[in-house]
């Protein structure tokens, strides 16, 4: 099962957190105001200690969170 996390920015540990996540710093989905980012751990990964303070979300839970206005970018 995939595990997703929302990280509030700036986060001093972001570079280290991204070492455990799918994608790169520039490929992560950011909130409209740029103050939060969604990251995903690879399937089957354990949550690394550096991420223990973050709330894990399932795929359906993260979709619910990202349906909120703070994540909805306008289509150009």
Cis peptide before 17 (omega within 30 of 0): no
Higher pLDDT among residues 54 and 11, named by residue: 54
pTM confidence score = 0.87
What is the percent of the chain where pLDDT is above 70?
A: 97
Number of domains in the chain: 1
Give me the pLDDT at residue 36, please.
94
Q: Is 76 among the domain residues?
A: no
Domain extent for 29: 3-71
Residue 12's pLDDT band (boundaries 50, 70, 90)?
A: confident
Q: Where are the beta strands (DSSP E) in the chain?
A: 3-8, 29-30, 36-41
Q: Is 67 among the domain residues?
A: yes
pLDDT digits (tens, 9 = 90+) for 34-62: 999 999 999 888 999 999 999 999 999 99
Q: Is 13 among the domain residues?
A: yes
């Amino acid at each position: 099962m995939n595990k997703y996390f929302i990280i509030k920015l700036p986060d001093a540990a972001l570079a280290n957190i991204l070492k455990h996540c799918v994608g790169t710093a520039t490929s992560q989905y950011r909130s409209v105001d740029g103050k939060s980012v969604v990251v995903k751990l690879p399937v089957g990964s354990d949550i690394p200690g550096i991420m223990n303070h973050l709330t894990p979300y399932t795929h359906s839970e993260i979709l619910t969170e990202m349906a909120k206005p703070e994540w909805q970018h306008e289509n150009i």
